[in-house]
Amino acid sequence: MIPTSPPTPIPLRVGVLASGRGSNVQAILDAIAGGRLAATVSVVISDVVGAFALERARRAGVPAACIDPKGFSGKQGYERALAEALRAHGVELVALAGYMRVCGPELLAAFPGRILNIHPSLLPSFPGLHVQRQAIEHGVRFSGCTVHFVDAGVDTGPIVAQAVVPVLDEDTEETLAARILRQEHRVYPHAIRLFAEGRLRLQGRRVLVDAAAPGAGDHALIQPPLPA
């Protein structure tokens, strides 16, 4: 995999894969509608019949399709159909947004270095499922979300962008998830924009951002906060 983002003609054609409620799909659609992201969502595809993400796409006038893995004898056939559908819509970048399946070789080979995912933890901490609960039980002071390129592992690919939120003593899985989700909706369109503008470059497993913002100086997040 060479996950870099060559300059693509604007607007970038994005295909979104989602399994559930689709709030990240909505955030991407809203960023485009609001002029904050020069891209087009060409298609939203779900592996789950009736996923609300599909309804969100339809409401935005975006083609929506369900490809049910049950209709295929194995993962390879399912992913081949997925890749064909994405290609048929001219997709250049695949954005996984709450897509609850691990990408197999078929999909990875169809879009090398062109699949992003958003995950609700500060990777490499807490990959996989139920990660907000894991973060609370572990006692970390910060969690957040990560946008990363997808490779053959589970939440292991090169990191594009992260947002950090505090974990509070009174947090439940739900309150922490909601705090993280608000940042997901900011950081995912931002990461897609960096890709669309051809500003991402891979060095080893580090993703370098061309013309990145100036250094952070002494800025730090400290939790519990220092006294004023």
Interface residue list for ligand GRF (CB under 6 A): 18, 20-24, 97-98, 118-120, 145, 181, 184
Contact 39/150 with Cβ under 8 angstroms?
Answer: no
Q: What is the signed CA dihedral for 14, 127, 51, 162, rounded to 10 degrees?
A: -40
Nearer to ligand GRF, 81 or 181 (CB): 181
Smallest separation, CB 146 to ligand GRF (Å):
9
Smallest separation, CB 167 to ligand GRF (Å):
15
For ligand GRF, the nearest residue by Cβ is 98
Nearer to ligand GRF, 42 or 117 (CB): 117
Give Cα 181 distance to the centre of its chain.
Answer: 12
Q: What angle do CA 157, 106, 151 make, to 5 degrees?
A: 5
Smallest separation, CB 19 to ligand GRF (Å):
7
Structure tokens at 179: 């705090």
Q: What residues are labeled active site? A: 119
Q: Measured between alpha carbons, how far is 86 from 225 in angstroms, rounded to an integer? A: 46
Q: What is the 3-state secondary structure (H, E, C) of 177-199?
A: HHHHHHHHHHHHHHHHHHHHCCC
Q: Measured between alpha carbons, how far is 114 from 123 in angstroms, rounded to an integer? A: 19
Nearer to ligand GRF, 4 or 108 (CB): 108
Nearer to ligand GRF, 83 or 145 (CB): 145
Smallest separation, CB 26 to ligand GRF (Å):
8
